[in-house]
């Protein structure tokens, strides 16, 4: 290796360079230009090839191999001090200041034996599919950039971009499709990053970008990155569609440890993914607090599931024609002795990530069947108890057996249980899901679609799925009075559902006017705070018990 000043005069050579050319350092430094070692005849014909493009900042090259896109890399002939020729590969990079003026050169010269070592190094530090630096090399460059920032006081930015659905694409269309998508995305990101970011592939779905001189990623550039990833990719006779999420952290705001910088970018990335993906999040210390709480929740939730430390609440569903309680939705509740009440919106996603939903769902099924058995024993009948079924449970072929066994164990008629599934599951339309739903209906269990009208609402799906009931989302219910033609939309949904022999329940009914208008439109049932908040099992039992003045005389 050697370094030279702006005129090309040697300023430093290492021992390996001395051995290669046969000149001691004192005969090179300050006395010869690096051109002087070339075969004069060859140099006369190819001198222009020694003029290399500049890089943005010299210090960023520390520990970095000089590849074709970071200067010039070509084969030359050196003349050693004794006049003998030696074939070398010369990697030369011109260093420039921010004004573009040359400040010096960095060169590396390899004979053929050394060249093999460099090739091996390249294989060990680059992804073979995309050619991008791998995690080891990118983290090395990140540490080098951080070292420089401590002396220059320039901020350092780390951007992590993860492909949200590459694994699903691989499972659906195979490895060639995933490889094509990854190579195309890498090429697009490399073009967008240019000299402003050092781009690498951390692992199969995670790209990393390092840059200095900034502590935030502009929103428009983040949007451009996401848009480039989502642009369709041609593959054989189809088009591949990807999406991504972005997490960003910076130094000095996130600390000087490269591992801390990576960890905090991952926290921001996970927050973006949990928010639905396709967005960018910058790290803030609130995310770190959330991460600590989530890690704590994971430990406590495992213990709670194992010890079955949950309860059920019940929100009545009212038949609008008669005013009777005909159904009740079961709502999972968790109250921890130290944390207090933890809402399902917080702990259910954690349970899904931990793979606990089947175990948790089985407990809910058993508890609901047990409660239905108690109602049957006291009243001779029971409202139908609606149980929310997660996508994980529905995809499990054991679901039918679990439901049938629970009903038999508690001696509960299937009509006492209703299973609610999310609207998005209609899109899967897999044979296994359809068979499971059909078998459950044959058993006598009713199937409901929850939150209808917020996602991929289509009566074409309902015509092919075994569905007994749809539950209109509360956002549509509120539109009755707040949106032009809101009641016409609700009325059309009710009429089309009835045409398919599907009943309709309205969710989130909070005013008498909404309840009255839903009844006028022919809605079958409703639930919401206008009728009742979620009740304990005892409170629901009280609501179902016929009241007698003789048994309960007034004071």
Residues belonging to the active site = 507
Nearest-CA neighbor of 144 among 251, 249, 283? 251
Residue 282, both tokens: 């910058």
Residue 112: HSE in the Cβ half-sphere, 13 Å Cα cutoff: 3
* Look-up of token digits 């490889």: 179
* Look-up of token digits 């051109």: 35
**Which residues partner with 470 through β-bridges?**
449, 504
Residue 457, both tokens: 């609402």
Per-residue HEC secondary structure of 209-277 comes to EEEECCCCCCHHHHHHHHHHHHCCEEECCEEECCCEEEEEEEECCCCCCHHHHHHHHHHHHHHHHHCCC
Per-residue HEC secondary structure of 269-322 comes to HHHHHHCCCCCEEECCHHHHHHHHHHHHHHHHHHHHHHHCCCEEEEEEEEECCC
- As a whole number of angstroms, the distance between CA 66 and CA 69 comes to 8
Sign of CA dihedral 285, 288, 293, 294: positive
Instruction: Tell the burial category of 72 from Cβ atoms under 10 Å away from its Cβ (0-12, 13-18, 19+).
Output: middle
C-alpha torsion 387→388→390→396, nearest 10: 20
* Look-up of token digits 């009742």: 532
Nearest-CA neighbor of 495 among 524, 515, 528, 534? 524
- As a whole number of angstroms, the distance between CA 327 and CA 315 comes to 8
Task: Please state, as a whole number, how many other Cβ atoms lie within 10 Å of the Cβ of residue 339.
Answer: 13
The number of residues in the chain equals: 555
Residues in Cβ contact with 430 at an 8 Å cutoff, skipping those fewer than 6 apart = 395
β 72-79/85-96 pair status: antiparallel
Residue 388, both tokens: 């929310």
Cα 248 to the center of its chain, rounded Å: 14
Residue 459, both tokens: 């009566």
């Amino acid at each position: 290796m050697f370094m030279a000043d702006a005129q090309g005069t040697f300023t430093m050579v290492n021992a390996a360079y001395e051995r290669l050319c046969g000149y001691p350092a004192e005969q090179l430094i300050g006395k010869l230009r690096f051109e002087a070692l070339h075969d004069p005849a060859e140099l006369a014909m190819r001198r222009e090839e020694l003029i290399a493009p500049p890089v943005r900042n010299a210090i960023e090259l520390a520990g970095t191999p000089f590849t074709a896109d970071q200067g010039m890399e070509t084969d030359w002939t050196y003349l050693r001090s004794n006049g003998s020729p030696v074939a070398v590969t010369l990697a030369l990079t011109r260093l420039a200041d921010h004004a573009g003026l040359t400040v010096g050169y960095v060169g590396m010269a390899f004979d053929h034996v050394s060249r093999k070592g460099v090739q091996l190094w390249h294989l060990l530090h680059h992804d073979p599919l995309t050619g991008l630096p791998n995690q080891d090399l990118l983290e090395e460059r990140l540490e080098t950039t951080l070292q420089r920032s401590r002396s220059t006081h320039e901020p350092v930015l780390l951007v992590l971009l993860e492909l949200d659905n590459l694994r699903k694409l691989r499972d659906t269309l195979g490895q060639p499709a995933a490889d094509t998508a990854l190579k195309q995305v890498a090429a697009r990101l490399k073009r967008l990053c240019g000299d402003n970011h050092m781009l690498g592939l951390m692992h199969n779905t995670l790209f990393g970008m390092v840059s200095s001189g900034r502590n935030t990623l502009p929103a428009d550039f983040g949007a451009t990155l996401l848009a480039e990833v989502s642009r369709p990719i041609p593959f054989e006779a189809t088009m591949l569609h990807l999406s991504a999420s972005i997490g960003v952290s910076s130094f000095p705001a996130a600390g000087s440890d490269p591992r801390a910088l990576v960890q905090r970018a991952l926290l921001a990335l996970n927050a973006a993914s949990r928010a639905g993906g396709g967005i960018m999040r910058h790290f803030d210390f609130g995310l770190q607090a959330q991460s600590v709480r989530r890690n704590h929740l994971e430990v406590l939730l495992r213990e709670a599931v194992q010890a079955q430390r949950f309860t059920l609440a019940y929100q009545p569903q009212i038949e609008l024609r008669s005013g009777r309680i005909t159904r009740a939705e079961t709502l999972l509740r968790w109250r921890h002795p130290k944390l207090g009440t933890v809402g399902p919106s917080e702990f259910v996603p954690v349970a899904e990530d931990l793979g606990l939903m089947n175990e948790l769902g089985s407990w809910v099924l058993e508890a609901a069947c047990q409660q239905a058995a108690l109602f049957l024993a006291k009243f001779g009948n029971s409202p139908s108890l609606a149980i929310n079924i997660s996508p994980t449970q529905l995809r499990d072929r054991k679901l039918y057996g679990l439901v049938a066994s629970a009903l038999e164990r508690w001696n509960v008629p299937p009509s006492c249980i209703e299973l609610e599934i999310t609207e998005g599951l209609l899109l899967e339309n897999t044979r296994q899901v359809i068979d499971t739903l059909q078998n459950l209906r044959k058993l006598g269990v009713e199937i409901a679609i929850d939150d209808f009208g917020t996602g991929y609402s289509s009566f074409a799906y309902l015509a092919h799925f075994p569905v007994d009931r749809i539950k209109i989302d509360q956002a549509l219910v509120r539109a009755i009075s707040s949106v032009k033609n809101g009641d016409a939309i609700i009325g059309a949904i009710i009429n089309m559902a009835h045409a398919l022999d599907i009943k309709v329940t309205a969710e989130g009914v909070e005013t008498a006017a909404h309840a009255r208008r839903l009844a006028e439109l022919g809605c079958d049932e409703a639930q919401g705070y206008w009728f009742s908040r979620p009740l304990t099992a005892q409170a629901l039992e009280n609501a179902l018990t016929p009241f007698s003045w003789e048994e309960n005389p007034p004071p």
